[in-house]
Amino acid sequence: MRLAIGLAASLFLLSVTAVAEISGAALDTTPAIPSNPIKNCRITDKPNDVGGALTLEWELVPSISAAGYAGEIAIYRSTAAEGPYELAATLPGNALRYEDSGLKDHVCYYYRLIYIEEGIESAAFEAGSGVAAGQWFHTGRIPILILMLLFSATAVFFIKRARSGYTFKVRPIAGINAVDEAIGRATEMGRPILYVPGLGTAADVATIAAFTILARVARKTAEYNTRVIVPNYDPVVMTVCQEVVREAYSAAGKPDLYDPKDVFYVTQDQFPYTAAVNGIILREKTATNFYMGMFYAESLVLAETGFVAGSIQIAGTDQLVQIPFFVCACDFVLMGEELYAASAYLSKEPQQLGTLKAQDWGKVTIAALIIIGTIFATFGWKSFAAWFNVG
């Protein structure tokens, strides 16, 4: 009898529990968040940075990924273990990493992570603490440092070799050889020369190369009594160009021929500048146009106008996209590094030519590294190539 009552009671209890579970399952739609959905959090100082940043990395229990990461992860931060904690960020439910920035260096920060789904919060996970600090050396940039030092050493070696009397063979560049001829033509025609130093700033290497070529052009125009017009896009570039032309006229022994109004500022707006230069080409009927420096969409507009006006045109730019346009409409084009090499070619100074040799060796080194990297990567060893991924 006791057994029967016991069985009946057990069955009743089981059935009640089962009904409760079934009804519970049917009625309770709140998500079942595991009590500790976040685990194994690592807090580290962000490497190779200015400071003020910590990196948090954690794992999520498998049930969260199985549920499709429907929730969010709230990250709380405090400067004391006991709090108070403030919300630092809310991340998507599948986030496994967070970079907390804007922190003070050498201050200990404590973190709590909470998984939230449909307003239900998991228990706070005490993630630990970390201290942010800036680094004095960027370890991710070691390959660049090595290559920089190697290149500089090679350049200095060749400069010294050149000074000791060694002569380097230099390939002729048609665009540079044509400079004198183009100036001569303008002189014969009695028309001015236009020199456009591009849209770059005085800090751009292409613009610095443009100064070098301008010095040569201005010296020649001074010798031939030909006018050179230099419209500028940047006022700093204008100041340097004025100085370059003035010095060139002085060096040619004709300082009185220099007119500062021929080297002038136009505007720092791309297409109004283009319109102004086009106007100069058509009104002044320039015999020769030089386009040296950085050019963008205006390159073809300028070069086509010069072509239509019948000018001889020599262009040089390191803007690869614009090179085809210049090739279409100009007589000679200095492509990329040829523009930079101009000063070495024009001056013929041995120490200048020495750096050209260093550039060649730089190319050989890079080509060798590419070949080695390709072979290693083909055989599955990608660490070599990965080493060059600089941060």
Partner 1 sequence: MNQQQMPSEGFWSRLINIDRRWIYLVIGIVVFIPILFPIGLPVQVTKEVQNVYDRIDSLKAGSIIMIPMEYDPATMAELQPMAYAILRHCFSKGIKVISTALQIEGVTIIKNDLELIAAEYGRKYGEDYVFLGYKPYPGIVILNMGEDFRKPFPRDYYGNLLDSLPMMAGVYNYSSCAMIVNINATSGVDYWINYAHTRYGAPLAIGVTAVMATDYYAFLSSNQIFGLIGGLKGAAEYEKLINHPGLAMRAMDVQSIAHSVIVIFIIVGNIAYFSSRKKKG
Partner 2 sequence: MKREIPLLIVLVFGVFMAFQYFVPHRISSNIYQEFNNWTIIIGIFTMVIGIASLLSVHYSKIRFRKEGWGYSFVTIISLIGMAGLGLFGGMENDLFIHFYRFGLSPVTATMFALLAFFIASAAYRAFRARTVLSTLLLLAAVIVMLGRVPIGEIISGWLPEPLQLSKISEFLLYVPNTAAKRTIYIGVGLGVAAVSLKIILGIERTWLGGDGK
Q: Which does 283 bind (CB under 5 to 8 A by kind): partner 1, partner 2, none?
A: partner 2
- Rank residues 78 and 270 by Cβ distance to partner 1 and give the closer one: 270
Q: Which does 88 bind (CB under 5 to 8 A by kind): partner 2, partner 1, none?
A: partner 1
Shortest spacing between CB 233 and partner 1, in angstroms: 13
- Rank residues 221 and 317 by Cβ distance to partner 1 and give the closer one: 317
Shortest spacing between CB 185 and partner 1, in angstroms: 22
- Rank residues 179 and 333 by Cβ distance to partner 1 and give the closer one: 333
- Rank residues 31 and 255 by Cβ distance to partner 1 and give the closer one: 31
Shortest spacing between CB 271 and partner 1, in angstroms: 5
Q: Which does 379 bind (CB under 5 to 8 A by kind): partner 1, partner 2, none?
A: none
Q: How far is CA 50 from CA 46, 132, 134, 310, in A?
A: 9, 10, 5, 56
Q: Is 171 left (phi over 0), alpha (psi -120 to 50) or beta?
A: beta
Shortest spacing between CB 89 and partner 1, in angstroms: 6
Which letter, b or e, does each residue of 177-200 get, where b requires 16 or more Cβ atoms within 10 Å of its Cβ? ebbeebbebbbebebbbbbbbbbb
- Rank residues 157 and 296 by Cβ distance to partner 1 and give the closer one: 296
- Rank residues 251 and 385 by Cβ distance to partner 1 and give the closer one: 385
Q: Which does 162 bind (CB under 5 to 8 A by kind): partner 1, partner 2, none?
A: none
| CA distance linking residue 336 with residue 206, whole number of Å | 9
The footprint of partner 1 (CB under 8 A) covers: 50, 53, 87-90, 92, 99, 101-102, 269-271, 294, 296-297, 308, 319-321, 390-391
Shortest spacing between CB 346 and partner 2, in angstroms: 9
Shortest spacing between CB 125 and partner 2, in angstroms: 31
Q: Is the bond preceding 192 in cis, omega lying within 30 degrees of 0? A: no
129 bridge partner residues: 110
Q: Strand 263-265 vs strand 86-92: parallel, antiparallel, or unpaired?
A: unpaired
Shortest spacing between CB 254 and partner 1, in angstroms: 38
Q: Which does 212 bind (CB under 5 to 8 A by kind): partner 2, partner 1, none?
A: partner 2
| CA distance linking residue 61 with residue 43, whole number of Å | 18
Q: Which does 102 bind (CB under 5 to 8 A by kind): partner 2, partner 1, none?
A: partner 1
Q: Which does 190 bind (CB under 5 to 8 A by kind): partner 2, partner 1, none?
A: none
Could you say which DSSP state residue 36 is in?
A: -
Q: How far is CA 328 from CA 176, 315, 325, 331, in A?
A: 18, 11, 5, 9
> Which of 80, 81, 87, 82 has its CA nearest to residue 121?
87
Q: Which does 374 bind (CB under 5 to 8 A by kind): partner 1, partner 2, none?
A: none
Q: Strand 288-294 vs strand 312-317: parallel, antiparallel, or unpaired?
A: parallel
- Rank residues 129 and 270 by Cβ distance to partner 1 and give the closer one: 270
Q: Strand 108-117 vs strand 97-101: parallel, antiparallel, or unpaired?
A: unpaired
Q: Strand 72-78 vs strand 108-117: parallel, antiparallel, or unpaired?
A: antiparallel
Shortest spacing between CB 99 and partner 1, in angstroms: 4
Q: Strand 120-121 vs strand 108-117: parallel, antiparallel, or unpaired?
A: antiparallel
- Rank residues 137 and 348 by Cβ distance to partner 1 and give the closer one: 137
Place of tokens 């998500």: 31
| CA distance linking residue 283 with residue 272, whole number of Å | 16
